[in-house]
Amino acid sequence: MDRDQIKEFIAKRVAKELQEGDLVNLGIGMPTMVANYVPEGINVFFQSENGFIGLGPAPLDGKEDPRVVNAGGQCVTILPGGVFFDSATSFEIIRGGHVDVTVLGALQVAENGDLANWMIPGKMVPGMGGAMDLVTGAKKVIIAMEHTVKGNHKILKECNLPLTAAGEVDMIVTEMGVMKVTDKGLTLTEINPEYTVEEVQAATEAELILADNLIKMEI
């Protein structure tokens, strides 16, 4: 798979985690693609921390409305019944525990669920943004990311970049498999049949526990 195919594959698999009636926040980048792959017959509500609920699929080329953008500045669509509100209300929703699922990218994730996704020391960054609120306020935190970066591990025993939050990640979805953070460690529950268990482990610094019912990853 090329990078575009990898992103699509990950987004489609994450979308399968969404349940009827969920309020979902999608982070900047790859996570925004999840909105395009909600399973048929499932109604969910997408929230953006810059102030609305009711995001739809990405707009068609030439149909973008520059006045309607998500927190990453990307043009979005709003479904009938969508609502707009100020940032204070938006973060009351997030911090109040009303978001069922948040999907974020990551620079690093540790086997205990620690997350680093906001800065690399020495590089200019605008700030942590709403990620710290989302990962502590959401009921379920899913990380959607490529398994490695330039061949380097991203799923580690311990993060060595500044943390966004400690112990808040519930699930990691990559092109290689699906991993869940458990009390016993990081458990591989699904594997992309294009890879072997040995290849997934080699691409992962953290020690993976194999689920008793390890299944094929499907989208």
Which member of 49, 111, 168, 175 is catalytic?
49
Residue 76 token pair: 């979005």
- 111 noted as active-site residue: no
| CA–CA distance, 218 with 86 (Å, rounded to integer) | 39
Residues 6+ apart with CB under 8 A from 152: none
Q: Which residues are catalytic?
A: 49
